[in-house]
């Protein structure tokens, strides 16, 4: 079995790697388990020193690392640089804030000294996707390593060079051997790794299908799991919105990472009073995007990451048209070299069409007209997903209703949905469970250990009756 790195802009094979044998995986898991026994006792200040060095290396090597991302999965070069810079920022965030997050929390209890102590779980398996090949890993890696856990990474099969580069970065930053390792393995090998008793927990970012399979197995093994899966985020624009800013942001929100983002806006829900103006400007903005070689500085849209993804988006657009949707612009793949798909706008997508309830992982937007806020909220929630929502209104009452009534993990008012190291990231419904980032994300893979230390006995009071032990009657139950 082999794992290929293929340039999605040209179709050229960049490198081929053999998948690790069972024996090689065993050796790496042994090393990880041994590393945890020692690493959990490494002082937090030393972990922070390594984490800051890791951030420094990322900043220093941003051009080389960004180029690797672009070559391997097709992200425009400017966006790849931003991804590396964001990885450095999350390293610095946890280096600075881990002591606060991990500090024992005193709890007031009667006559006792009580507190909650946060302890690492052990070896965590990270199953990560290709669309943000560094950031998706680092938003797990930084809090996990600062907390004293160790990690083994099963990265997406189309970004093996990125996966190996991350392992090298961690090692060069001074973290002990075995603290973070890449497993170049096939999908079929994941089940055996997760079942291994040395694996304490698993985190998954990826498709709903992958989440279901791994979540089911983790549940049967009684192992902690965090799932960050798909999304079909609504972008709601009401009549009081700043229309120019809303349209400009809408185009960026749909086409971030060439449309290959779980938190990209995918359904645009617009008040009927401004719908025509929004539609016209949005279509014009999508048509103005520059698609081409992702290594060029002025390219807005690169290729989709794999041929399979390209064919999937093409099939979804065709299915939407067959169901009655109308294509206002785009709608086709570009034939020739590379996995390119035109920026596309669909209207009149029937709500009973299969594609209406699917996530489209490419630069394809669906527009919907609504009569009022009630209808906007109802339509926004009419999805199996619940990741994020971007809402555009200057009306305080509308803002509060949208914040309260939208079914999702995050609401961004007059702003694009984005992740931030300081804020919990994750969703509800079929977008998954658990959180990444912030204190909440760090504590997903920590044991909240309760500690109660009894106060010193005060001795008998001669002025009081002696205490008689209470014995429960036979009819009482625990």
Question: CA 293 to CA 76: how far, in whole Å?
Answer: 8
Neighbours of 457 (CB within 10 A): 7
Q: One of 167, 208, 228, 444 is an active-site residue; which one?
A: 228
Is there a contact between 176 and 35 (Cβ–Cβ < 8 Å)? Answer: yes
Q: One of 87, 91, 255, 262 is an active-site residue; which one?
A: 262
262 given a catalytic annotation: yes
Question: CA 64 to CA 92: how far, in whole Å?
Answer: 21
Contacts of 468 (CB under 8 A, 6+ apart): none
Instruction: Give the relative orientation of helices 44-60 and 135-147 as an angle to the nearest 10 degrees.
Output: 160
Question: CA 132 to CA 137: how far, in whole Å?
Answer: 8
The residue to which tokens 């999937």 are assigned: 312
| Partner residues linked to 467 by β-bridges | none
If you write DSSP's letter for every residue of 334-384 in order, what string do you get? Answer: PPSSS--B--EEEE---TTSGGGGS---SSEEEEEEESSHHHHHHHHH-SS
Is there a contact between 44 and 34 (Cβ–Cβ < 8 Å)? Answer: no
Closest CA to 62 of 82, 48, 76, 89: 82
Catalytic residues: 228, 262
């Amino acid at each position: 079995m082999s794992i290929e790195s293929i340039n999605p802009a040209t179709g050229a094979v960049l490198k081929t790697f053999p998948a690790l044998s069972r024996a090689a995986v065993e050796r790496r898991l042994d090393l990880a388990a041994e590393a945890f026994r020692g690493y959990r006792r490494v002082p937090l200040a030393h972990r922070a020193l390594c984490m800051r060095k890791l951030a420094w290396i990322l900043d220093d090597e941003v051009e080389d690392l960004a180029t690797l991302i672009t070559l391997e999965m097709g992200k425009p070069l400017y966006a790849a640089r931003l991804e590396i810079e964001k990885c450095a920022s999350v390293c610095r965030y946890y280096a600075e804030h881990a002591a606060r997050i991990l500090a024992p929390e005193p709890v007031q209890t009667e006559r006792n000294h009580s507190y909650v102590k946060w302890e690492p779980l052990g070896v965590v398996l990270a199953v990560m996707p290709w669309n943000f090949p560094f950031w998706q890993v680092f938003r797990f890696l930084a809090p996990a390593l600062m907390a004293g856990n160790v990690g083994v990474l099963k990265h997406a099969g189309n970004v093996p060079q990125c996966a190996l580069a991350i392992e090298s970065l961690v090692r060069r930053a001074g973290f002990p051997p075995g603290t973070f390792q890449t497993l170049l393995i096939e999908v079929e090998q994941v089940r055996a790794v997760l079942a291994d008793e040395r694996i304490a927990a698993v985190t998954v970012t990826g498709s709903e299908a992958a989440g279901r399979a791994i979540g089911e197995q983790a549940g049967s093994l009684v192992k902690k799991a965090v799932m960050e899966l798909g999304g079909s985020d609504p972008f709601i624009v009401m009549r009081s919105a700043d229309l120019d800013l809303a349209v400009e942001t809408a185009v960026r929100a749909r086409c971030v990472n060439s449309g290959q983002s779980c938190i990209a806006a995918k359904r645009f829900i617009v008040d009927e009073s401004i719908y025509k103006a929004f539609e016209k400007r949005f279509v014009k903005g999508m048509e103005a995007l520059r698609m081409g070689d992702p290594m060029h500085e002025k390219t807005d849209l690169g290729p989709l990451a794999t041929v399979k993804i390209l064919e999937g988006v093409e099939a979804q657009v065709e299915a939407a048209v067959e169901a009655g949707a109308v294509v206002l612009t785009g709608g086709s793949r570009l034939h020739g070299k590379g996995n390119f798909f035109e920026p596309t706008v669909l209207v009149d997508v029937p709500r009973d069409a299969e594609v209406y309830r699917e996530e489209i992982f490419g630069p394809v937007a669906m527009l919907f007209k609504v009569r009022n806020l009630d209808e906007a909220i109802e339509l926004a929630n009419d999805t199996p997903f619940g990741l994020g929502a971007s809402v555009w209104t200057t009306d305080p009452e509308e803002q509060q209703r949208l914040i309260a009534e939208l079914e999702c993990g995050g609401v961004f008012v007059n702003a694009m949905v984005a992740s931030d190291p300081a804020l919990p990231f994750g969703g509800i419904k079929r977008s998954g469970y658990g959180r990444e980032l912030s204190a909440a994300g760090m504590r997903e893979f920590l044991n909240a250990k309760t500690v109660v230390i009894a106060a010193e006995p005060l001795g008998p009071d001669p002025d009081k009756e002696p205490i008689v032990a209470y014995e429960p009657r036979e009819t009482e139950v625990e």
